[in-house]
Amino acid sequence: MTDSIRCVEIGMADKPTETWCGRKTDPAEFTFIDASHAALQGRNGGYVMVCEWCAGAIHSALLKAAGSMKWHVESFNPTRQPLESTDKPTAAGS
C-alpha cells in the first residue's frame, strides 16, 4: 500500500523537485504538484495518500500563516452554514 503514498512538491519554480518533507525527488516520480493538488485528492476521495511528513509540514505552515487569526481555525466551517455573529472576527481596536 506504500506505493499509493506520495509526497507534495513545494511548488516553487526554483525548487521543482523539493517536497514539503524536505525530500528531493526524481523528476519522473509521481508527486502532488502542490498542496492544493493534494488537498483536492483527499476531498474528492482519491486513493493516493499524502506523505504524513508532507501533510504535517503543510499543516504547520498553514497554522503559522493564520497567526493571530486564531478564529479561522476555531470556527472552521466545512458545511458552509452561516457562522454565528459571535464567531466572526472584529476589527482591531473595536
Q: Is pLDDT of 1 > 80?
A: no
- 83 lies in some domain: no
Residue 74's pLDDT band, with cuts at 50, 70 and 90, is low
Q: 0.95 exceeded by the pTM?
A: no
* pLDDT greater at residue 60 or residue 65: 60
In-domain check, residue 94: no
Residue 46: which domain range?
2-67
The one-character DSSP state at 86 is: G
Q: What percent of the chain has pLDDT over 90?
A: 30
Residue 81 lies in a domain: no
Whether residue 50 contacts residue 38, with contact meaning beta carbons closer than 8 Å, is answered with yes
Residue 55 has pLDDT above 70, yes or no: yes
When divided into structural domains, the chain yields a total of 1
Phi/psi of residue 7, nearest 5 degrees: -80, 165
What is the Cα–Cα distance from 85 to 8, expressed in whole angstroms?
37
Cell numbers for 75, please give them.
470556527
Question: Contact at 8 Å (CB) between 9 and 37?
Answer: no
pLDDT in tens, 4-49: 899 999 877 666 678 999 998 887 888 998 999 999 998 998 889 9
